[in-house]
Amino acid sequence: MKLYPKLFLTLGCALIGALGLLGSILSYSYTHTLRTTIADTELTSTAQTMTAINRFLLERSLGAQTIASKQALIAALKEQTITQPETQTQLEESCIRFISLTGPWDELRIFSAQEQSILSVNPIGQHQLPDDPIDLTFVQAALEKETLVVSDVVQARNGKPTMVFAAPIKSSTAYNATTLGVVVLHLTWPAVTEILTTLDEKRLFLFNAQGNLISTNAPTVSSYSLQDTSLLLTTTEPRNLTLTPQQSEGEQIFASVVPQQPFLTYQGHGWKLVSEIPTREAFAPIQNLITLASFTSIVVLCLTGFLLAVLLRRFLVQPIERLSVMAQAMKDGRYDKRTVISNQDELGKLGEALNAMAETIEASYQQLERRVQEKTQALNTQVENLETTKKATLNILEDLSTAKQVVQQEQAKDEALLNSIGDGLIAIDDQGLITYINEAAVHLLGETQKQFVGTPFHKAWTVRTEEGTEVPLAQRPVQQALLGNTKVLSSDYIYVRKDGTSFAAATTATPIISHGQTLGVILVIRDISHEKSIDRAKSEFVSLASHQLRTPLSAINWYTEMLLAGDAGPLQPEQTKFLQEINEGNQRMIVLVNSLLNVSRLELGTFTIEPQPTNVIDIAQAVLKELTGQIQIKHLTINTSFSTTLPLLSVDPKLMRMIFENLLSNAVKYTPAEGTVSISVQPQDRDLLITVQDNGFGIPEAQQSKIFTKLFRADNVRAKDTEGTGLGLYIVHSILENSGGKIWFTSVENKGTTFFVTIPLTGMQKKTGTRELS
């Protein structure tokens, strides 16, 4: 269904509903009011009829009393002349006149106080009328009550209904006046029916107090609908009744019942006046009104619907249809179409926006088309270029493929190289995860390559000290290299495999540093169990050698000591001299043995370097002090140049002492008397520079290359018979070689020698061995 019928139906239904509801409310309200008004009007009308009847009867009562108060009549009765014919004739004429004035009466009759009928006339002038038996009753009542008596409807002697008015004739108006007679008047009853007929067009029914119908304007009494007289008997106030078709034996009847009320001096007889009218007839105006209202509503509804349809179409549907057509056109890509703007409401603004949008899109579309053309052109160019590039790329890919093969070959070579290394090699990333492990390392650590790769290194194996204590993670070489960014060498630890077996390992953990960031560590690991056992054997050898060599020297030493001390008795001077020679020779032998043992330790690599904060200058001065005796004997001049700002250096003090002892003792030993020995200890760049200079014998140039060899002594000093083992410089050279230092010299024979020693200001490198040098 399209928008228009939808809107029309929706608004139409809403309108019909609203109007229906409003009509119902108004209809109910007006109908109710109208019904009440009509009912009240009906009741009032009936009551007015009842009042008219009462007024009629009151007027008749006054008429009767007026006749009774006529002086001529009173005089005739008082003077008892009424029986006289002339008087009677005069009275009859007067009474006829009275009847016509106060009537309508059927007849007038005058009774004496003795209840004797004296005179009777009717309106047509007849007199001497026959007596009516009903009169006496009311005559007696009037005489007795001495006031007007009005009967209910009674049947006259001719069988017609009538009402009897009996008025006493008083002698005067005084309170105690004598009743002279009674005037009796018979009412002409049809006059009452005429009132009903004249005053109301409805059907009226007058009932007496007993519920008997006494008068009606209806053509027939049977048309009376209210058959139930009990309603009449119980009604004391005016009221309306609606009689159902069952009650009224026909259509629904609307009835009004008005009881007779006393009216001025007339007391009434309890009559009830009933008016009847068919309900349909009574409320015909309402029905007419409803019909008219319904017709009017339909007409208004139709007109409104028509107007609504026109307005909807004009102001809503047509603009929307135009917008729809516009949108459809845009959907189809026809952006040149524009919608008609009929007004400036929201739809008008929407249409304007749509037109503007279409213009924009059209412009954009045109621009886009231009760009597409341009781009297409550029694309075509690019495609051509791409073809060229493709060819070039294919060439590059070929090159890359070749390069890849080369890389793969190189990788395979590297792999083979790494796997062919005898030492284990493990690559560990910055998170401590193993990323590569070569076959040697796998063989050493006893797992498969897959089991290691991706595993944290500290879980892949355990590290213990030689005493069996597990090394904490922070002290493990790999971790120290990772965190400290320095190469960590170690040969002190035992590596324990997962199966519990172990081996002594020498490791080098080298951090991989790029742009100042540690990317990981390369751990080179070697099983040194065999070397360790060899070391132990070497140590045992040196230990035994030192023991075996020193023991006889100790015996000689101690026995010579005791002999010289006189423990075995006094010695001859020559004996003492010989023993002193023995003792000196023994001391030189001890020095030689100690030197040889030191050489042995140096060569076996079993000596220890234990750096500790040391004042190097103090050691130099102490050694100089120890040489004071020899210096003084030779009258040597000693020049010293010691740095005043040199901090404590991390060096092994025993080795440092050996260096100074050898260099200074050589300088003193190989400088002739009166010579000069100079020592300088100064920092230079990153090193400590020790310079020991003498102006002694010097070293022949031809032998300078052998100066640091074992047991070498230059020819020029050997010829001078100086003491010396030929091991001192060899030992110094070896110590410095093993601790990160350097030694060199300049020498000119017979002019002197200068030894230069450098030790890094960072100190000596620590070395763990089994022996100290002595």
Partner 1 sequence: MSPHVEAPAPTILVIEDERPLLEAITKKLEHCCFEVVATRSVEQALGYLEDVKGIQCIWLDHYLLGAKNGLDFVAKIKEANSPWKTIPIFVVSNTASPDKVGAYMQLGVNAYYTKSDYHLDQIIADIRETLHCKTCVINPTHAEKEL
Q: Which is nearer to partner 1, 141 or 590 (CB)?
A: 590
Q: Which two tokens stand for residue 56?
A: 């009629």
Q: How far is the CB of 463 from partner 1 (least distance, A)?
A: 21
d(CA 374, CA 381): 11
Q: Residues near 451 by Cβ (< 8 Å), separated by ≥ 6? A: none
Q: Which is nearer to partner 1, 532 or 713 (CB)?
A: 532
Q: How far is the CB of 586 from partner 1 (least distance, A)?
A: 9
Q: Which is nearer to partner 1, 230 or 548 (CB)?
A: 548
d(CA 752, CA 566): 45
Q: How far is the CB of 731 from partner 1 (least distance, A)?
A: 17
d(CA 259, CA 268): 10
543 binds partner 1 (CB under 8 A): yes
Q: How far is the CB of 549 from partner 1 (least distance, A)?
A: 8
> Measuring CA to CA, which residue among 694, 648, 653, 647 is closest to residue 670?
694
Cα–Cα separations (whole angstroms), residue 243 to 82, 248, 647: 58, 6, 140
Q: Which is nearer to partner 1, 558 or 744 (CB)?
A: 558
87 binds partner 1 (CB under 8 A): no
Residue 219 has a CB neighbour count (10 Å cut-off) of: 8
Handedness of CA 453, 455, 461, 463 (dihedral sign): positive
Q: How far is the CB of 772 from partner 1 (least distance, A)?
A: 5
Q: How far is the CB of 606 from partner 1 (least distance, A)?
A: 9
Q: What angle do CA 317, 323, 324 make, to 5 degrees?
A: 85
772 binds partner 1 (CB under 8 A): yes
465 binds partner 1 (CB under 8 A): no
* CB contact burial 299-312 (16+ within 10 A = b; e otherwise): eebeebeeebbeeb
- Among 435, 475, 580, 630, the residue binding partner 1 under the rule CB under 8 A is 580
- Among 141, 312, 553, 638, the residue binding partner 1 under the rule CB under 8 A is 553
Q: Is 493 in contact with 465 (CB distance < 8 Å)?
A: yes
The residue behind tokens 């014919």 is: 85
468 binds partner 1 (CB under 8 A): no
The residue behind tokens 């000693």 is: 638
Q: Which two tokens stand for residue 32?
A: 């109710």
Q: How far is the CB of 676 from partner 1 (least distance, A)?
A: 32
Q: Which is nearer to partner 1, 325 or 562 (CB)?
A: 562
Q: How far is the CB of 538 from partner 1 (least distance, A)?
A: 11
Q: How far is the CB of 595 from partner 1 (least distance, A)?
A: 12
Q: Which is nearer to partner 1, 352 or 531 (CB)?
A: 531
533 binds partner 1 (CB under 8 A): no
Three-state DSSP at 265 gives coil
DSSP string, 409-468: HHHHHHHHHHHH-SSEEEEEETTSBEEEE-HHHHHHHTS-HHHHTTSBHHHH-EEE-TTS
Handedness of CA 198, 203, 204, 210 (dihedral sign): positive
612 binds partner 1 (CB under 8 A): no
Q: How many residues bind partner 1 (CB under 8 A)?
A: 33
d(CA 563, CA 580): 10
- Among 309, 418, 590, 638, the residue binding partner 1 under the rule CB under 8 A is 590
Q: How far is the CB of 536 from partner 1 (least distance, A)?
A: 11
Q: How far is the CB of 760 from partner 1 (least distance, A)?
A: 24
> Measuring CA to CA, which residue among 659, 613, 653 is closest to residue 761?
613
DSSP string, 664-696: HHHHHHTS-TT-EEEEEEEEETTEEEEEEEE-S
- Among 594, 595, 695, 734, the residue binding partner 1 under the rule CB under 8 A is 594
- Among 365, 436, 559, 712, the residue binding partner 1 under the rule CB under 8 A is 559
- Among 41, 420, 630, 774, the residue binding partner 1 under the rule CB under 8 A is 774
588 binds partner 1 (CB under 8 A): no
600 binds partner 1 (CB under 8 A): no
> Measuring CA to CA, which residue among 537, 531, 740 is closest to residue 651?
740
551 binds partner 1 (CB under 8 A): yes
725 binds partner 1 (CB under 8 A): no
Q: How far is the CB of 542 from partner 1 (least distance, A)?
A: 8
Kindly give the interhelix angle for 71-78 and 85-102, rounded to the nearest 10 degrees. Answer: 150
DSSP string, 93-114: HHHHHHHHHH--EEEEEEEETT
- Among 176, 565, 574, 673, the residue binding partner 1 under the rule CB under 8 A is 565
- Among 32, 314, 450, 547, the residue binding partner 1 under the rule CB under 8 A is 547
Q: How far is the CB of 541 from partner 1 (least distance, A)?
A: 12
539 binds partner 1 (CB under 8 A): yes
- Among 398, 561, 723, 737, the residue binding partner 1 under the rule CB under 8 A is 561
- The region of 48-56, 161-169, 412-420, 540-548 touching partner 1 under the rule CB under 8 A is 540-548
Q: Is 520 in contact with 430 (CB distance < 8 Å)?
A: yes
608 binds partner 1 (CB under 8 A): yes
Kindly give the interhelix angle for 85-102 and 3-68, rounded to the nearest 10 degrees. Answer: 170
- Among 507, 546, 695, 739, the residue binding partner 1 under the rule CB under 8 A is 546
Q: Which is nearer to partner 1, 543 or 691 (CB)?
A: 543
- Among 113, 134, 564, 761, the residue binding partner 1 under the rule CB under 8 A is 564
Q: How far is the CB of 587 from partner 1 (least distance, A)?
A: 9
Q: Which is nearer to partner 1, 457 or 493 (CB)?
A: 493
252 binds partner 1 (CB under 8 A): no
Residue 716 has a CB neighbour count (10 Å cut-off) of: 16
Q: Where are the beta strands (DSSP E) in 171-212?
A: 179-187, 203-207
Q: Which is nearer to partner 1, 65 or 594 (CB)?
A: 594
Strand order in the sheet with 203-207: 213-216, 203-207, 272-278, 253-259, 239-243
- Among 11, 512, 579, 582, the residue binding partner 1 under the rule CB under 8 A is 579
Site residues (vs partner 1, CB under 8 A):
539, 542-543, 546-547, 550-551, 553-555, 557-559, 561-562, 564-567, 570, 576, 579-580, 583, 590, 593-594, 608, 769-772, 774
